[in-house]
Structure 1
Amino acid sequence: MSDNMTREESIARIAAIIKDIKFALLTTTNSEGHLHARPMTTQETEFDGDIWFIGAKDSGSVADIKGNPRVNVSYADTGKSTYVSVSGKAELVEDRAKLEQLWSDFYKAYFEGGIDDPNVQLIHVDATGAEFWEGDGKVKGLFQMARAALTGKPATDMGTNETVKL
């Protein structure tokens, strides 16, 4: 964990960064050992150290998680120059109450049978660590990079980067 932040502060900071990001990349390891990243819709729940997705039982992500539960979830908001990479352990969950809590009509596009579709699968990621980057704004970042290119000196004051153990 960062020396400057408690676990609770780290979780709150990550929650604030990712709260409005609609899609994340869920990276799994397939049976051949290759990494595979897939876009997933983020849930409208506040990050508390757990990440939830609704996936399909017949998807590559679910097959990969069955073989190796170690995953990475990445978020990016290029407009705000904020990025988060969360590592953790995924599990496949059957919990009707949780599914009802997370379900929205958006998922009808993916599941013909709606919430009762037998292919619906909850994916729970227990976050164990994260790294995040917060830029000071796109214009300032571009200025810093341009100045570095012109002077040949590394860019400085490019924002905040923290690695935290959750």
Structure 2
Amino acid sequence: MDVNKVLQFVDKLVFENTGQHLNDVQRAVVEGTWNRQTYDDIAHNCHLTKNHVADVGCELWQILSTALDEDIKKSNFRSNLERVYVEKSQNICIGTNHNFTFGSQILNHSQSHLTENNINNQQKLPYRDLTLAPKIKNFCDRKSEIKFLENWIFNQDISLISI
């Protein structure tokens, strides 16, 4: 995660909870903390006092703690934010055409099995950023497992499968 994505993510969280976007000092605190700078360094770069920057940081950590329902501090900001960002990114939606990809095979789910309500719910799902998703380096052919999945999905109408 680069600092620009962090700033966008934090700005979105702050806006959702306060109705205001990050101000310049808050942005400097987020950027400095992400880059593992001290409040002294951040204050020096912004031509502010260390106490003012620390107060802004404390207020920001409280807002983020409320928004994420986590105990956010300067010391755990980076690790908690990376974990929350990855958790939110793992709720992926790959379009609304209901194609499931397993290796080189694509399984097409018939639209007739879906109700109009399910289609509307799928279209409302947000876009998920997959830049932090792990790359698949080795893929083992799983023909028998794919047969089981096909049977469960298409013949037995199982709506939830955990892999």
Interval containing the TM-score (normalised by the shorter chain): under 0.3
Task: Specify which structure has the higher proportion of strand.
Answer: 1
Task: Provide the TM-score with structure 2 as the length reference.
Answer: 0.25
Task: Specify which structure has the higher proportion of helix.
Answer: 2
Task: Provide the TM-score with structure 1 as the length reference.
Answer: 0.25
Which is greater in Rg?
2
Higher relative contact order (CA 8 A, sep 6+): 1
